[in-house]
Amino acid sequence: MCGRYILVQKKEVIEKRFNVTFDEKADYKPSYNVSPGKLAAVITDDNPLKVQMLRFGLTPFWAKKNMLFINARTEGDNNKENNPTYTGARGIITKPSFRKPIRSQRCLVLADAFIEGTTQEKLSKPFLVYLREKERPFAFAGIWDTWQNPDTKELIQSFAIITTVPNALLQKIPHHRSPVILPRHYEKKWLRQNLPLTDVTAMLEPYPAELMNAYPINSAIKNPQLDSKELIAPIGQRIEKEFEVKTTEKWELSGMGASKRFSYNPDQPFGKKED
């Protein structure tokens, strides 16, 4: 599953990356801990040039009470054992909660990285998973719906992130699911209305593991009330080695003595290097 993720980019960066503008009603705030029930940035198929804020946790339009489907399984009720080599039916197209949105209410869920715990310990042992080469922000494949509260008549727009079988990196955490991350060339296609269903389901594949990496973080991320950069600080080694750690000394004259500084900090999150 994918129940926590990160989006901390400035509005201007998001707008340039996806060639959109923020809706004037969008109250966007960067977050290191986007959690179920919170408003988060998405681009919907019915308004593909605007970023809107929808609730993370989908309630189907027909529901009698408020619900929070944070994820939608590509396989639906199939592949209950979460076999990573599964290539069978896309059961999402027949699930009552998702069969309408997957056909006509798709969205891009904007993110910089996501949090995944181990299958057994869950968020008690979390990892931050990111795309290499500073590929952020990116987009999860999402679906959305509009539900009316029968008591207050309030309209609530909400979304879920589609998940699929784990790629090789997620298996090393280990975790049994992986969110569907759309390559850039699929983003506009995902939002295309009247797209044949076979084209839609063909995009529901795991992201290439070699383009991703992950490192362990503090379990404080479990608390949805917490939201700070410290939550994503590495507390251990990355799953895959990305570079040789080298500390080179640079000497500078200062008066009659000399001072030295290290030019590289291997503890930077997201694999970022310092100049």
164-190: pLDDT as tens digits: 999 999 999 999 999 999 999 999 999
Catalytic one among 75, 107, 116, 205? 116
Q: Give the helix/strand (H/E) hosting 189.
A: helix 184-190
Q: Is 107 a catalytic residue?
A: no
Catalytic one among 2, 75, 187, 205? 2
Q: C-alpha 131: how far from its chain's center?
A: 10
Question: What distance, in Å, lies between the first and last C-alpha atoms of the chain?
Answer: 36
CB 75 within 8 A of CB 173: no
**Per-chain mean pLDDT for the chain:** 91
pLDDT at 237 over 70: yes
Distance CA 160, CA 5 (A): 13
Domains defined along the chain, listed by start:
4-232 (3.90.1680.10)
Beta strands 257-262 and 106-111, pairing class = unpaired
- pLDDT bucket at 261, cuts 50 / 70 / 90: very low
- pLDDT bucket at 84, cuts 50 / 70 / 90: very high
Sign of the dihedral through C-alpha 266, 166, 92, 61: negative
